[in-house]
Structure 1
Amino acid sequence: MKQPKVDINGKFVVAADVGGKVLYVYNGEDEGTEIDTTLPIVGAKVAANGVTAVLTQDSDSNVLNIYNPYNSADKLAVEIPTNVLDEGYPLDFDISPDGKSVVTSHMVLTGETPENKVSFYNFTEVGQDQNTLVGGKSFGTNTIASIEFVGKDEVCVFHSSGFTLFDQMKKPQIQAEVTYPDTIRSVAYSDQYIAVVTWNEGDTRNAQTLHLYNLKGKEIRSQNITYTFSDMELNGDELIFWSSKEAHILRTNGKEKFSCEFEDVIHGLFPTEQGSVYTLIDNNKINVISLKKK
């Protein structure tokens, strides 16, 4: 592969050759299943049951393909073509854990003003009655950064002004809309929480605010933070921040669990199944950090 891109969901992994026409789906039990496409691949996402969504495109059209890698008769289950001129350029997409819904985002150029919108597809009997398209929403000029399924039937659309939560994928409805007057610096999500860090413009003393929400969109915590970080992740009830020289762990109750500066350049701090043990990767080695209770 010249430009591999990987997506992981539970035991399933899809590795797609972006710009090429081949992808592989792995389940950890065999050598993987190869799938060939007719158009160049833009991206691929895998569901928790192995069903895989693949976005392909050429100069004037996009095609969203849904594959069941383990169907020996016909791996291609659904094919949804769209026209770039009418539907716009693809930005992002995600597939639901059960593989029965896909949400896509596109940017449409109408004159000099871009319009960003999302479309909802459902592959059950409900969606089949409507050619799989069961809903959509325009976000105007707000750039859509990413689309993420945060639950079995809940999807979050992160955009330049905040985020919007949708549920009921057979008939999508807005569950919550959150917007910010300040610039969004970073976002993270898990199957329990959504975290957003914003810049507090004009406040040099408290330059950043961390906002924490449940999956109903209700804010459960807001606090100023002073961390220098390039990456932020949510894992269980912990927020993990790191930059090239620093790492911090903040509990979702607002209490700091770990904070340290390092001499070597670090590339990530990752939790393990043991709650007090973490893996730290730097330029030279892989380290194991074991935290002691205070």
Structure 2
Amino acid sequence: MADIRSFRQEREKREKGQADYQQKIRRYRLSHVYRISLVAAALIALAVLVTLQYKNHIYTSYEVVGTVDAAVVKGTRNMPLGSNILTYSNDGAHCTDARGNILWNQTYEMQDLILATSGDVVAIGDYNGREVYILNQEKKLGEVNTTMPIRGIAVSQSGRVAVAVADTKVTSINIYDPDGTWRFEIKTTMNQSGYPMAFSLSPNGELLGLSCIYVDSGVIKSRVAFYNFGTVGENKSDFYVNGYTYPDTVIPTIRFMNNGMAYALGDDRLVFYSGTQIPEAADTYLYEEEVQGVYSNENYVGVLFRNSSTEEQHLLKVYQSSGNRVGEYLFNLDFDHLFFGQDNFVAYNEQECLIRTFGGVDKFQGEFVKAAKVMIPLGNSYRYVILTNDSIDTIQLK
């Protein structure tokens, strides 16, 4: 019996020891999880704090972190082309990078130059002429020659170009591949479709958006039509896949933002269209104020109005490419250029610059040290390339 009692006592000790050991393991694990949770919470709090400080940080000046000599030639015009600078005139064009290297140089002779861009691709033509040059920021892609006078051009990021040519009765929009090969033709007449006001190609060159104006029983109307040059449009008459009519409205602007979203801006409305094959009207915004201008990239559209209710002279209404409203912004800067960043817009003239976030924070509002001809963003770090009269400067806000 004594042995049995001893065995039982020993077993109870072992079981109690195992229970204590398991309890210690549980406490250790809980303590470990707790410490990890505290560290994770601290890191999250730090990240939130840094993000808030970054979003709310105000820049008061900038420093030049890189500069090269450059000269702005009288009679030339300059604009961004991708992350580089396009310089053009009636005699030729060239593209320059931030280090001052000339990437390409194209000569030509034009009387009334017209130009279209999409991303880093540019098409340069001559109104009433018969030549169009297609280039990106690296090289010349091709050249188009027409048999009739050119009335307008549009280009895609793929390099495909749309060229409107006209005779006395018919205006045709011809589609060419980057190498100049003719592919498709859309014919318009005043009696059937109206007069073309604007047209745009999707970035991949598969879709064409066309705005025409015509008079029906004394009423001015606009018609927005979409054409598909892919497999969907092959079985459609003249590649036509969808269209909309707008009475008492003039629509001088139509633009693809990406392969699935386009917008048309009229004198009283902004309409978004959605669809990679058959674009359909989505969001519509009606305006009573007079539209002063429109600015867009692949992510945002900004419609500018003259403001009369407060001291600020400009009212900018901004929308996402999806058609959702971002916000309305009042400001006073008498600007020459405006472009969008990831979460802000930048308005500037040669002397001054305003950078405002969509949250309403003025990240920078100040003067340039030297007159700014062109301003190009470099990523999302508030670093920019600026073309001045005698240099190309890379600046960092601080």
Instruction: Give TM class, smaller chain.
Output: 0.7 to 0.9
Q: Work out which of the residue numbers 155, 170, 177 in structure 1 matches 2:262.
A: 155
Give the structure 2 partner of residue 20 of structure 1. Answer: 129
Distance 2:186 2:253 in 1: 20
The alignment's TM-score, normalised by the length of structure 1, stands at 0.86
The answer to whether 1:170 aligns with 2:277 is yes
- Tell me, what secondary structure is at the counterpart of 2:191? helix
Question: Which deviates further from its counterpart, 131-140 or 78-87?
Answer: 78-87
Matching residue of 1:51: 160
Q: How far apart, in 1, do the equivalents of 2:271 and 2:368 lie? A: 37
**8 A Cα contact 1:7 1:45, kept in partner:** yes
Q: In 2, Cα distance between the equivalents of 1:204 and 1:272? A: 34
Structure 1 pair 266/10, CA: closer, same or farther in 2 (3 Å)?
closer
2: CA distance between counterparts of 1:26 and 1:207?
38
Of the structure 1 ranges 121-130 and 218-227, higher mean CA displacement relative to structure 2 is found in 218-227
CA distance in 1, matches of 2:342, 2:231: 35
2:349 to 243, 251, 276: 243
Aligned residues: 288
Which residue matches 1:41?
Answer: 150
Quote the offset at 1:37 in angstroms.
0.9
1:93 and 2:187 correspond: no
**3-state SS in 1 of match to 2:192:** helix
Cα shift readout 1:134-168 (whole Å, capped 9, x = no counterpart): 11112222221311111211111011123100011
Query: Following the alignment from structure 1 to structure 2, what is the Cα–Cα distance between the partners of residues 102 and 37?
Result: 19
Q: Does 1:9 align with 2:118?
A: yes
Shift in CA distance, 197/288, structure 1 to aligned 2, threshold 3 Å: same
Task: Provide the alpha-carbon RMSD of the alignment.
Answer: 2.6
| Deviation digits for residues 220-256 of structure 1 (CA, Å, limit 9, x no counterpart) | 3234333332432213322111235432111222211
Instruction: Give the aligned partner of residue 43 of structure 2.
Output: none
Following the alignment from structure 1 to structure 2, what is the Cα–Cα distance between the partners of residues 247 and 27? 28
* Identical pairs, percent: 25
CA distance in 2, matches of 1:27, 1:187: 24
Of structures 1 and 2, the one with the larger relative CO (CA 8 A, separation 6+) is 2
1:76 to 2:185 alignment: no
Give, in whole Å, the separation in 2 of the partners of 1:101 and 1:217.
19
Query: For 1:66-215, what aligned pairs fall within 5 Å after superposition?
Result: 66-70=175-179, 75-110=181-216, 112-131=218-237, 132-201=239-308, 203-215=309-321
**Deviation, structure 1 residue 262:** 5.4
Deviations, residues 84-113 of structure 1 (Å, cap 9, x unaligned): 333222111100111111011111134654
1:211–1:9 Cα change, 3 Å: closer
* 1:26-77 deviation per Cα after TM superposition (whole angstroms, max 9, x unaligned): 3566554222112111222222222211111122111111111348xxx111
The question of whether the paired residues in 1 share the 8 Å contact of 2:313 and 2:330 is answered with yes
More helix by share: 2
- For residues 378 and 386 of structure 2, the distance between their equivalents in structure 1, rounded to whole angstroms, comes to 11
**What is the TM-score when the length of structure 2 is the normalising length?**
0.65
Unaligned runs of 5+ in 2: 1-108
The DSSP-based 3-state class of the residue aligned with 1:19 is: coil
Q: Distance in 2 between matches of 1:11 and 1:229?
A: 24
